[in-house]
Amino acid sequence: MKSVVIGSGFGGIASALRLKAKGHKVTIIEKHSDLGGRARVFEKNGFTYDGGPTVITAPYLINELFELFNKDPKDYIELAPLKIWYQFIFEDGSKFNYSGNEIEMKNQIEKINKEDVLGYEQLVNFTKKIFDKGFLELADIPFDKPFVMIQQLPALLKLKSYKSVYSLVSSYIKDEKLRRMLSMHPLLVGGNPFTTTSIYGLILYLEKKWGIHYSMGGTGNIIRGFEKLMNEVGIQIINGHEVIKINTNKNKITGIKLDNETIIEANNVICNADPPAVYEKMLDERANNSLLFKWKKKRMEYSMGLFVYYFGTKKKYENIEHHTIKFGNKYKEHLDDIFDKKKLNDDISYYLHRPSATDASMAPEGQDCFYVLVPVPNNQSNIDWSIEGEKIKNLVIKKMENDLMPKLRENIVEDFYLTPDYFEKDLNTKYGSGFSIQPKFSQSAYFRFHNKSEVYDGLFFVGAGTHPGAGVPGVLSSAKVLDKIL
């Protein structure tokens, strides 16, 4: 059995490894010269910048890919649990150290609003129920038939999945700061907390269950570990080439065509590239000519775009935690502007990553390595990023100088940034969205892009646009779905 995987994101690599473990002959193809997709690494002047994922949760999903081949993950990667998971900074300058230590969590909540301590306990208990159903039971099962979804509907409704995450959290928590903090998780997978189905409240519990980890050497070190493993077990890696067509014969997949005209024959093609790009650019009309599919695709809503500014400083900012989240004043308005009105708003919220807080190897001695991520509209906005990119960069530097890092600008020794144009053009993602389609109820499970094509035998999809969705645990679970279908 010969299988070709298009794209080397976490979902593509996990699929390649799972199929190899089943005995397939596997080739993985990546358009860039380096692997990882959103998790690729940019190395510049002694600074190591992880391009995307930094918060590693559910580490067993990573470890089990090594274990499929009886390898010890510790020979490849090192995952270190963090004590403080996120430091939240609110509009009034107050801070909250969010962690897995329940005593410290409750002490801090009590200082903000006594009544919310009980509400917090109840919220955690409720998210455990969502987690048990939504993650443990459903994250890695195929949702390619409507009856699978219909079967699950009563349970999902009982778990109040018609509510948004923010509204679920608000039913337990009174204080607005705590509401924001405890409902921010959809942002990690491309959703607006005010509209994302409360199923995603499960992330709050998932973090508690296995902790938040950092991959020593950066998330890129996990990709390097997987690359080593793929070479050892005999997976063929073709990088620096783009798949331009998926070949078919009647109802069957026959292989793919590369940008250098090479044809590779295969029984199965697994697409880790963003599904809309695959349907629009690599497949013929037949693949999506059913009325239902056309309707579904037309009404799909895409996740927000991301402006990511990577920078190194000549001094260390010891006061900055590994993960910092700063909320803007007009948080909800900012999110409405990004998701609905598709326009920029100066009152930004941002996430700041400082890997050198945990791992000195990420920056030259005595220096610090950062990225700051600002959610922005995706490219449905028609924003000209060649003009706006520089403006957002200056805005976020100014905000960080005011909020946390005095005289930041004069300490920056090098920098660069990515906008939704990078996600659209370099990563082939529709509208340059950061996380493919949004995690709304109407776009969850059966309503996402299916993991198995309805039209062609041998055509499969994994990664952020498919079930269960974006985020490293999500895309690794999508490869488990594939494992079950094949």
Ligand X SMILES: Cc1cc2nc3c(=O)[nH]c(=O)nc-3n(C[C@H](O)[C@H](O)[C@H](O)COP(=O)(O)OP(=O)(O)OC[C@H]3O[C@@H](n4cnc5c(N)ncnc54)[C@H](O)[C@@H]3O)c2cc1C
Q: Using the rule CB under 6 A, is 10 a contact of ligand X?
A: yes
Q: Which stretch binds ligand X (CB under 6 A): 37-45, 78-86, 108-116, 293-301?
A: 37-45
Q: Residue 475: which of 121, 16, 12, 64 has the closest Cα? A: 12
- Minimum distance between the CB of residue 31 and ligand X, rounded to whole angstroms? 4
Q: Using the rule CB under 6 A, is 54 a contact of ligand X?
A: yes
Q: Using the rule CB under 6 A, is 427 a contact of ligand X?
A: yes
> CA-to-CA distance for 454 and 413, rounded, in angstroms?
52
**Residue 148 three-state SS:** helix
> CA-to-CA distance for 108 and 117, rounded, in angstroms?
9
Give helix 60-67 / helix 472-485 axis angle, nearest 10°.
40
Cβ distance to ligand X smaller for residue 37 or 377: 37
Q: Using the rule CB under 6 A, is 31 a contact of ligand X?
A: yes
Q: Using the rule CB under 6 A, is 12 a contact of ligand X?
A: yes
Query: Scanning residues 183 to 212, which ones bind ligand X (CB under 6 A)?
Result: 188
Q: Using the rule CB under 6 A, is 434 a contact of ligand X?
A: yes
Query: Scanning residues 77 to 136, which ones bind ligand X (CB under 6 A)?
Result: none
Q: Using the rule CB under 6 A, is 301 a contact of ligand X?
A: no
Q: Using the rule CB under 6 A, is 59 a contact of ligand X?
A: no
Q: Residue 355: which of 36, 41, 116 has the closest Cα? A: 41
Residue 175's identity, in one-letter code, is D
Measured over the CA atoms of residue 189, residue 472, residue 99 and residue 90, the dihedral's sign is: negative
> CA-to-CA distance for 35 and 51, rounded, in angstroms?
12
Residue position matching structure tokens 């010891």: 318
Q: Using the rule CB under 6 A, is 215 a contact of ligand X?
A: no
Q: Using the rule CB under 6 A, is 6 a contact of ligand X?
A: yes
Q: Using the rule CB under 6 A, is 272 a contact of ligand X?
A: yes
Q: Using the rule CB under 6 A, is 223 a contact of ligand X?
A: no
468 preceded by a cis bond (ω within 30 of 0): yes
Cβ distance to ligand X smaller for residue 119 or 420: 420
- Minimum distance between the CB of residue 262 and ligand X, rounded to whole angstroms? 12
Structure tokens at 41: 């690494």
- Minimum distance between the CB of residue 111 and ligand X, rounded to whole angstroms? 28
> How much is the CA Rg of the chain, to the nearest whole Å?
22
Q: Which stretch binds ligand X (CB under 6 A): 1-9, 114-122, 337-345, 385-393?
A: 1-9
In the shown chain, the binding pattern of residues 360 to 399 toward ligand X, with x for contact by CB under 6 A and - for none, equals: -------------x--------------------------
Q: Using the rule CB under 6 A, is 9 a contact of ligand X?
A: yes
- Minimum distance between the CB of residue 153 and ligand X, rounded to whole angstroms? 26
> CA-to-CA distance for 223 and 478, rounded, in angstroms?
17
> CA-to-CA distance for 172 and 120, rounded, in angstroms?
7
Structure tokens at 307: 């402006």
Q: Using the rule CB under 6 A, is 486 a contact of ligand X?
A: no
Q: Using the rule CB under 6 A, is 225 a contact of ligand X?
A: no
Measured over the CA atoms of residue 285, residue 10, residue 188 and residue 486, the dihedral's sign is: positive
Compute CA distances 423 → 70, 142, 220, 461, whole Å.
36, 27, 18, 19
**What phi and psi values does residue 111 have, to the nearest 5 degrees?**
-65, -30
- Minimum distance between the CB of residue 448 and ligand X, rounded to whole angstroms? 12
**List 3, 4, 5, 7, residue binding ligand X (CB under 6 A):** 7
- Minimum distance between the CB of residue 379 and ligand X, rounded to whole angstroms? 14
- Minimum distance between the CB of residue 186 and ligand X, rounded to whole angstroms? 12
Cβ distance to ligand X smaller for residue 434 or 458: 434
Q: Using the rule CB under 6 A, is 270 a contact of ligand X?
A: no
- Minimum distance between the CB of residue 307 and ligand X, rounded to whole angstroms? 10
- Minimum distance between the CB of residue 155 and ligand X, rounded to whole angstroms? 25
Q: Collect all residues with Cβ–Cβ distance below 8 Å to 225 and sequence separation of at least 6.
A: 66, 73, 76, 77
For 358, counting Cβ atoms within 10 Å of its Cβ (0-12 exposed, 13-18 middle, 19+ buried), the class is middle
- Minimum distance between the CB of residue 327 and ligand X, rounded to whole angstroms? 18
> CA-to-CA distance for 117 and 123, rounded, in angstroms?
10
- Minimum distance between the CB of residue 140 and ligand X, rounded to whole angstroms? 14
> CA-to-CA distance for 99 and 95, rounded, in angstroms?
13
Residues that bind ligand X (CB under 6 A): 6-12, 29-32, 37-39, 52-55, 188, 242-243, 272-273, 306, 308, 373, 427-428, 434-435, 463-464, 470-472, 475
